[in-house]
Amino acid sequence: MGQPPEPDQPPSPYEPPPGGQEPQYGQPYGQQPQYGQPYGQQPGEQYEQPAYGQPAYEHPGQPPHGQQWGQQPPYAPQVPYGQYGPPGGPGSGRGTNVLAILSLVFAFVFAPAGIALGHLAKRQLRTSGEDGEQLARWGLILSYIFTGLFLLACCGWLALVIWAGSDGTNT
């Protein structure tokens, strides 16, 4: 372990260098860091402090490592007044049509109102581009089914009353 390295081999990184001096972290053997010298800069290289407000690049042509204090991040360009923004596909955050939701709710509460709200919702959805097409469709389907069942129950009840009121004799 204390043997000098052979001439063709580099010195071992596990042994202290000859001469008794310990290298500083990140510095080659024999070179000590100087006060005020930026990390990674070789001795003898000229270091220029950037002017106030100028980005401090470590290497020319490369962006800085972080956002400089006092600078705002870049924003997307504003759309001119009176023009539309980028087109949005289905589910682009425009929201769900309120009438479509109410159509589905009223299908269970008062089905004829659910029918009217479902048709109004479908008309609005054709022009507004909102979400809720399936809600309006299911609101209409359930409203028609429950209205049909209610009418069938009313007709059956009426027929039962008429049948029970007759005593079976013809006059």
120-142 pLDDT tens trace: 999 999 999 899 999 999 999 99
The answer to the question of residue 25 being in a domain is: no
The answer to the question of residue 152 being in a domain is: yes
Q: How far apart are CA 144 and CA 8, in angstroms?
A: 94
**For the segment 71-88, what is each residue's pLDDT rounded down to a tens digit?**
666 676 676 776 665 555
Question: Which position has the token pair 């919702």?
Answer: 121
**For the segment 41-60, what is each residue's pLDDT rounded down to a tens digit?**
666 666 566 566 665 555 55
What is the count of structural domains for the chain?
1
Question: Averaged over 7-15, what is the pLDDT?
Answer: 68
Domain that holds residue 140: 98-165
The answer to the question of residue 24 being in a domain is: no
The two counts, helices (H) then strands (E), for the chain are 3, 0
Q: How far apart are CA 56 and CA 41, in angstroms?
A: 14
- Token readout for 107 is 């299908």
The answer to the question of residue 29 being in a domain is: no
Cross-strand partners of 96:
131
pLDDT in the model for residue 150: 96
The answer to the question of residue 105 being in a domain is: yes
Say if residues 118 and 140 touch (Cβ distance below 8 Å): yes
The answer to the question of residue 73 being in a domain is: no
Angle at Cα 112 formed by Cα 110 and Cα 117, nearest 5°? 95
The answer to the question of residue 46 being in a domain is: no
The answer to the question of residue 109 being in a domain is: yes
